[in-house]
Structure 1
């Protein structure tokens, strides 16, 4: 591990030794009582975090790590931003909670700020507790609006852990939960590096992927589809930026067959790609947008669905059959208001765009040219992926699809020992720091990645 913090005090002012002792006790209780997500419970050794500040976290041994993970890609403004922390405290002193049938000022202002940033006429917001239930409600809205049931979703996607959301998901986490009864039809989306369409360039990939999608819709019955759900830029599945023209082509197909276009912005939204919403990179307006994560930088859980005029009109004089006890919770909405305002005031969205174009993206491409283990780097803004391979010619991944490998484990360990907390999935390392990261902090992270990739190079054949 990297050396402990030079000060004996953490940024919060807490004594480091006492924080380490508290962390050890927390770990003991965790292993006795906490059931972890997506894990074989007896086989995990979770990292303890005792503090966080800005772009850094401190582990249970007091080691300071540069956070290139965004946790689960949600700390878009970094950790412990003082203005957002203060806004949560102020709201708690004023109005901690109130039932969703009542107006509260924080919810109204959060909805206004979000609607100002959505494209087109997506001017109404239904608040949820997180991204998965945002997807659940977006699908319900689309089905009721169209009177149809089936939904399209691509392979290599993730949409959440609840029933409909996990069945929409196109990665191996779906398999144990999929009984082929959810009305979901999966399809292959564009991904030139591992093309399903034998494409040689982006234009071919766009044309062939769209031709395949429309043929699939025709074969399945166009009048049976309520919606298509797409991550504007797929996140956990690999940060595969859609090639030029693809999203516009999907919009045209949806228009042609009366299919609701749902853009899943849970991970890619709120500045991460250098736009408020990733779909804005492609000049396309969906019918519904789902969001969560970055809307509050994860400080308080919040999600939602942004709704266009046509779908809103369906429920103008017809009750929408859905709701949540904590919809528009005042503490969560106050966090959203403060997060959006500090992102605006401090130019974080523009910074994410500049960092991606001028610092992080070029830096990753330099690493790719240097290390034979890097098959490809790709992304937008502070939403970037490093595809690791065991063989650059065959593109054999360094870990199998749906799993890990000793080689990947060694690379992740090298990142952590060098002082970097990465986001890793299968054979990839994702570079997904906060939108307000500095050039110097990116350079620090790239230096640690450089050393870790030397470990990966040792597994190349």
Structure 2
């Protein structure tokens, strides 16, 4: 039996949405959301046949691309066999998904607690750290995003935290960001050393004996794709060891191919105690996330009840999508493609754009995880105003490119399956729009 839908066109879809759908992070009265009807690979389209190259990966999660047949097939097969089952049961697909994930993790990680997404992954990692240490406080950076649930949103550093500060025990500090250094640093090495000194002073000032965890995005994503300077993450690991603090690395956005590796932290000489994930693990085809738990922390709950659970933890359709996605990514070399495209296509093309356009203050990134930071003045590094960024986003969409625009940045975040030709197409759109912007400054 087919779904019963209203007339399939852009206007009826928009009218239906505006009549009944309440959107996140938005004032509802002024919204005119983009209508999308289908997709394949790096492209999506609307009912009227307008085609867009998706260089946002939606919310930086469609790592395997739209409508990958292996993932669709895995979901379909699971739906025909068993659509849902309680998390308290043993389910073969759930076990296979967990095995594949832990096989990719560092040594000493053998258990996965499944959640519905990245926010509740961070919630449960925080819970585990507090129970493991018997301490309460969680330290995280001001430039971060960890999700929109109780503790996760308070751990977040940006403006979205402020209307939602209901959770207890959260302290923020400044992480490294050399382009806008809080530490008067002039080199990556200085930035790393001074940021670590600042963090240790916060630990000491808060009282190490009160701190359960430090929660960091391996590569802060929404905050600007802030590549850690040399030695920083390893230095945080050393501080955690010195003071008995659990290190949680949030790989929700950076993981599963986005940085050109299975886990972004693999490039930074660090192993955390807890790893949170979502997004790229199955490209968001079905909501899923989780915590990969070190053996030491997992053993705490061998004889003690873990006081947490979710009705849809390890949902069979989500687990099948993980199995299908990870198997396809491995056999098709998708993670390797992300690394190659970043090194040979995206990085060099962005460098050329930066040489051409003074409005680009800095480019940074790796894999298919890049940002162009746009400035009104290259000397003062004053951010390009919000109104101009809005016009840039509109112009890019008008040229058939779906961008990820955040603050004064364009994040260049296509699927890990993107081709060199598609990168060239996107770069031509960026070039044309930035040329027009520069004329108006």
The reply on whether 1:439 has 2:420 as its aligned counterpart is yes
Give the superposed CA RMSD. Answer: 1.3
Residue in structure 1 matched with residue 347 of structure 2 by the alignment:
361
Residue in structure 1 matched with residue 203 of structure 2 by the alignment:
217
- Calculate the TM-score normalised by the size of structure 1: 0.93
Residue in structure 1 matched with residue 434 of structure 2 by the alignment:
453
What secondary structure sits across from 2:416 in the alignment? coil
What secondary structure sits across from 1:212 in the alignment? helix
Q: Can you list the C-alpha shifts for 1:148-172, whole angstroms capped at 9, x where unaligned? A: 0000000110000001110000111
Contact 1:20/1:61 (8 A) holds in 2: no
Contact 1:408/1:456 (8 A) holds in 2: no
Match of 2:36 among 44, 49, 56: 49
Q: What are the within-5 Å matches in structure 2 for residues 325-404 of structure 1?
A: 325-399=311-385
Contact 1:20/1:60 (8 A) holds in 2: no
Q: Which whole-Å CA distance do the structure 1 matches of 2:6 and 2:262 have between them?
A: 37
Distance verdict in 2 for CA 1:20–1:449, change over 3 Å: farther
Residue in structure 2 matched with residue 8 of structure 1 by the alignment:
none
Match of 1:114 among 93, 101, 123: 101
| Displacement of 1:416 | 0.9
Q: Which whole-Å CA distance do the structure 1 matches of 2:106 and 2:6 have between them?
A: 45
Q: Which runs of 4+ in 1 moved over 2 A?
A: 18-24, 59-62
Contact 1:55/1:67 (8 A) holds in 2: yes
Residue in structure 2 matched with residue 38 of structure 1 by the alignment:
25
Q: Which whole-Å CA distance do the structure 1 matches of 2:220 and 2:46 have between them?
A: 29
Q: Which whole-Å CA distance do the structure 2 matches of 1:407 and 1:60 have between them?
A: 29
| Displacement of 1:276 | 0.2
Q: Which whole-Å CA distance do the structure 2 matches of 1:355 and 1:340 have between them?
A: 19
What secondary structure sits across from 1:79 in the alignment? coil
Between 417-426 and 57-66, report the one with greater CA deviation: 57-66
Q: Which whole-Å CA distance do the structure 2 matches of 1:96 and 1:232 have between them?
A: 34
Contact 1:390/1:459 (8 A) holds in 2: no
Residue in structure 2 matched with residue 12 of structure 1 by the alignment:
none
Contact 2:254/2:264 (8 A) holds in 1: yes
What secondary structure sits across from 1:458 in the alignment? helix
Question: 5+ residue gaps in structure 1?
Answer: 1-17, 400-404
Aligned residue pairs, count: 437
| Displacement of 1:414 | 1.4
Q: Which whole-Å CA distance do the structure 1 matches of 2:7 and 2:116 have between them?
A: 32
Q: Which whole-Å CA distance do the structure 1 matches of 2:300 and 2:104 have between them?
A: 23
Match of 1:417 among 393, 398, 411: 398
Residue in structure 1 matched with residue 251 of structure 2 by the alignment:
265
| Displacement of 1:289 | 0.3
Q: What are the within-5 Å matches in structure 2 for residues 239-258 of structure 1?
A: 239-258=225-244
The reply on whether 1:126 has 2:113 as its aligned counterpart is yes
The reply on whether 1:152 has 2:139 as its aligned counterpart is yes
Question: 5+ residue gaps in structure 2?
Answer: none
Q: Can you list the C-alpha shifts for 1:306-346, whole angstroms capped at 9, x where unaligned? A: 00011011111100000000100000000000000000011
What secondary structure sits across from 1:87 in the alignment? helix
Match of 1:86 among 35, 56, 73: 73
